[in-house]
Chains A and B, each alone.
Chain A
Amino acid sequence: MTLLQFVQGPLWYFASAVFVLGVLWRLIAMVMIGKPRDLSAARTSSFGGGIKAILLHSVPHGGNLARTIYHFLVGYAFHIGLFVLVLFAAPHVRFIEERLLGWAWTPVPGWGFALAAQFAFAGLILLYIRRLTDPVMRKLSDWDDHIGTWLVFLVMLTGCLALQESHDGLRLIHLLSVEALMIYFPFSRLMHAFTFAFSRYNTGATYGRRGVTP
């Protein structure tokens, strides 16, 4: 078995299992901790408040747009760019069709990929510069923040290098970095990709009972 075969075969399955089972366990274990029942007399619906909070916290509100414009623009540039790259890059769409679902959707054209990549790189780099230079973010940041950022950067960089799939070595490096990210993901703050909904919903539901969505 060549290294490429190993990375495409057993290591891929191992990384996928760690990712899927790790994410599921982390979420299930978190929910299973349980919480006290809210016995106060509700003014309005908890569920409605929870859903509202999930949507409301997707954008700055409460008069905070100007204060948070940097994170808002740069954060969305990165996340939308990354979303397009992961789900609509032609090699990924082909991979999804051939190895995961048996069917897939239309990939973005080359110019779309280039645009998404520019957004994703610019967003990630600008967020990281902020993390390194802003006193508040420096105060809060730990090794997990740095490792997560660098792993995502590495995956994006090697992905762009391997775009033409013309060199096995480049594909190998990309796949290895993706698998490293998948194995790291469930144990890290990258889990915010899932936990954001739980966090927002909980606040929305708690305060939704009170008739307000902060």
Chain B
Amino acid sequence: MTDSASAKTSDGPNVQAAIDKFIAVTGSQVAAYLDACIHCGQCAQACHFHEVTHDPKYVPANKLVPITKVYKRHKAPFAALKRAIGLAPAELTADDLTEWQELLYDSCTMCGRCTVVCPMGIDIASIVGLSRQAMVAAGLGPADLMEAAENARTKGSPLGMTAQVLSDRIEWLADDFEVEIPLDKKKADVLVTLSSIEMMKYPDSVVAMARLMNASGVDWTFSSHGYEATNFGILSGKSDVAKIMIERLTGAAEELGAKTVIIPECGHAYGAMRWSAAGILGRPLPFEVLHITEFVAQQIKAGKLKLKKMGDAITYHDPCQVSRRGGAAEDARTILNAFASDFREMEPTGNNNWCCGGGGGVQAMASASDLRHKVFRIKTEQVDKTGAQSLVSACANCRLTMDESKVALDWHTDIKSLVELVADQLEDA
């Protein structure tokens, strides 16, 4: 049975399915987290949703309540004893699940900032990701996020970009921008993937990526068998879709004999393929996975990409899944320092940066839009303090979130893609 098949019953959420999933996903690591939380509430200090609302319901530790109830009632050491003497938490209810949907989806971008401040180091973001699987098992979850995941399953991408649409758009971009964009070469050393957000909303980014790959002189291609890097299966909690998306990319790379898979400007796509994919597949990946910023930084260090200097004052927004949760914050700095003569860091920045408000699938949830616009005010204040003319990022999802919130907040600083900026600075561009 697929996750999607365990839908809501006619009486409401399938609570037993959620309980079973919560039990299944609680391994010793999650158990250690749930046993260590001392309810100190420090995580509220790091959460952008609490920061802008001061509503205690948004404290990240509160998002652990459903899984903690199930763990302590059914799986924790002494659970049976506590149940017998009436000291175990009450059974999870349909009302619990319905109430926590907003907390587990709309108001958690899984940015992991709460882990930094937690004295126990609890990885709340990962537990939220696992809890979403239980919500899906119950038949819950925001309809638009679920639809995006189903689009990925049936059409190949959350925005409905089929292989045919991919082919048509690549042909159009190659013609219009006079750039070579290889698709479906028989063999290639490097498989480049993309985010449908880029292809459908920011096609210049795809062109820029092609220019950088061509300038680096590597043997690369896109593949119509595996092109979508975003993984709305992971974001939504539909673990079967998560696996399908990873199998598509892995299959395409193996078919090409690729040694490297490049993830485009997308934070969660990097986390999904670089850090989660092997575990989901159940075997190590036979190729390396690089975020586009890692690849470009390598090429700059190797002297293969020569860049002209740019004098505009710019600042950089770290995608959380690339920096704090991905370990690749320095690569963007390597790139920026190679061409930007007036690069200004925000405070805080890098691994401690504030999230844009749209990660973790929140960008795709209409119900969350007002809240994430409020959250973006933190970013505008950070950027304004630097005095930068442009805000640059290396995540199309962050960029879309920030572009939408910029309009909602009537903010006027330019928001740009790092890959596009770098491609514009190529010496032969």
Interface on A for B, CB 8 Å cutoff? 22, 25-26, 29-41, 43-44, 53, 56-58, 60-64, 67-68, 71, 75, 131, 134-142, 145, 186-187, 189, 191-192, 195-196, 198-200, 202-204, 206-207, 209-212, 214
With contact pairs A33-B75, A203-B121 given, residues A40 and B325 touching in the complex (Cβ less than 8 Å)? no
List, sorted by A's number, 20 A–B pairs whose CB atoms are closer than 8 Å: A30-B28, A33-B26, A40-B276, A43-B327, A62-B117, A62-B352, A63-B348, A64-B116, A64-B117, A71-B40, A137-B39, A139-B59, A145-B38, A192-B37, A192-B38, A195-B36, A198-B36, A202-B123, A203-B122, A214-B112
With contact pairs A139-B59, A140-B41 given, residues A195 and B123 touching in the complex (Cβ less than 8 Å)? no
C-alpha spacing A101/B276, complex, angstroms: 49
Q: Which residues of A contact B126 (CB under 8 A)?
A: 206
Q: Which residues of A contact B57 (CB under 8 A)?
A: 139
Known: A199-B32, A199-B36; 18 extra A-B contacts, CB below 8 A, are A30-B32, A35-B28, A40-B275, A40-B277, A40-B284, A41-B284, A53-B121, A62-B116, A64-B117, A67-B117, A68-B42, A136-B59, A141-B39, A192-B35, A202-B32, A211-B327, A212-B324, A214-B351
Taking each of B26, B38, B75, B115, which has the highest tally of chain A beta carbons within 10 Å of its own beta carbon? B38
Q: Is the CB of B119 within 8 A of A196?
A: yes
CB-based nearest A residue for B352: A62
Chain A nearest Cβ from B246, distance in angstroms: 12
User: Does B355 belong to the interface (CB within 8 Å)?
Assistant: no
Q: Which of B47-105 contact A (CB under 8 A)?
A: 50, 54, 56-57, 59, 61-62, 75-78, 82, 87
User: Does B312 belong to the interface (CB within 8 Å)?
Assistant: no
With contact pairs A30-B35, A40-B275, A139-B57 given, residues A199 and B121 touching in the complex (Cβ less than 8 Å)? yes
Taking a contact as CB atoms closer than 8 A, the residue among A36, A43, A137, A209 that contacts B41 in the complex is A137
Taking each of A31, A62, A131, A191, which has the highest tally of chain B beta carbons within 10 Å of its own beta carbon? A62
User: Does B282 belong to the interface (CB within 8 Å)?
Assistant: yes
With contact pairs A62-B117, A212-B351 given, residues A32 and B28 touching in the complex (Cβ less than 8 Å)? yes
Q: Which residues of B contact A192 (CB under 8 A)?
A: 35-38, 120
Q: Which residues of A contact B41 (CB under 8 A)?
A: 134, 136-137, 139-140
Chain B nearest Cβ from A72, distance in angstroms: 9
With contact pairs A35-B29, A210-B327 given, residues A200 and B120 touching in the complex (Cβ less than 8 Å)? yes
Q: Is the CB of B324 within 8 A of A139?
A: no
Taking each of B30, B275, B282, B327, which has the highest tally of chain A beta carbons within 10 Å of its own beta carbon? B327
Q: Which residues of B contact A139 (CB under 8 A)?
A: 41, 56-57, 59, 62
Q: Which residues of A contact B276 (CB under 8 A)?
A: 40
Chain A nearest Cβ from B258, distance in angstroms: 15
Q: Which residues of B contact A58 (CB under 8 A)?
A: 119
Q: Which residues of B contact A75 (CB under 8 A)?
A: 40, 119
C-alpha spacing A29/B75, complex, angstroms: 10
CB-based nearest B residue for A27: B77
C-alpha spacing A137/B277, complex, angstroms: 37
User: Does B46 belong to the interface (CB within 8 Å)?
Assistant: yes
With contact pairs A189-B39, A207-B325 given, residues A29 and B77 touching in the complex (Cβ less than 8 Å)? yes
Taking a contact as CB atoms closer than 8 A, the residue among B40, B115, B278, B326 that contacts A39 in the complex is B278
C-alpha spacing A189/B278, complex, angstroms: 34
Q: Is the CB of B327 within 8 A of A41?
A: no
User: Does B167 belong to the interface (CB within 8 Å)?
Assistant: no
Q: Is the CB of A206 within 8 A of B123?
A: yes
Chain A nearest Cβ from B82, distance in angstroms: 7
Q: Which residues of A contact B282 (CB under 8 A)?
A: 39
Q: Which residues of B contact A206 (CB under 8 A)?
A: 29, 123, 126
Chain A nearest Cβ from B253, distance in angstroms: 14
Q: Is the CB of A145 within 8 A of B39?
A: yes
Q: Which residues of B contact A35 (CB under 8 A)?
A: 27-30
User: Does B44 belong to the interface (CB within 8 Å)?
Assistant: yes
Taking each of B275, B278, B323, B348, which has the highest tally of chain A beta carbons within 10 Å of its own beta carbon? B275
C-alpha spacing A16/B73, complex, angstroms: 26
Q: Is the CB of A214 within 8 A of B115?
A: yes
User: Does B186 belong to the interface (CB within 8 Å)?
Assistant: no
Q: Is the CB of B278 within 8 A of A60?
A: no
C-alpha spacing A186/B82, complex, angstroms: 12
C-alpha spacing A4/B56, complex, angstroms: 47
Q: Is the CB of B120 within 8 A of A38?
A: no
User: Does B279 belong to the interface (CB within 8 Å)?
Assistant: yes
Scan B272-290; emit 1 where CB is below 8 A from any A CB, else 0: 0011111101111100110
Q: Is the CB of B120 within 8 A of A196?
A: yes
Q: Which residues of A contact B59 (CB under 8 A)?
A: 136, 139-140
User: Does B31 belong to the interface (CB within 8 Å)?
Assistant: yes
Scan B337-376; emit 1 where CB is below 8 A from any A CB, else 0: 0000000000110011000000000000000000000000
Taking each of A43, A67, A136, A211, which has the highest tally of chain B beta carbons within 10 Å of its own beta carbon? A136
With contact pairs A39-B279, A207-B325 given, residues A26 and B78 touching in the complex (Cβ less than 8 Å)? yes
Q: Is the CB of B327 within 8 A of A212?
A: yes
Q: Is the CB of A140 within 8 A of B61?
A: yes
Q: Which residues of A contact B119 (CB under 8 A)?
A: 57-58, 71, 75, 196
Taking a contact as CB atoms closer than 8 A, the residue among B26, B33, B82 that contacts A187 in the complex is B82
Taking a contact as CB atoms closer than 8 A, the residue among A40, A136, A207 that contacts B279 in the complex is A40
C-alpha spacing A7/B40, complex, angstroms: 34
CB-based nearest B residue for A31: B28
Q: Is the CB of B324 within 8 A of A37?
A: no
Q: Is the CB of B61 within 8 A of A202?
A: no
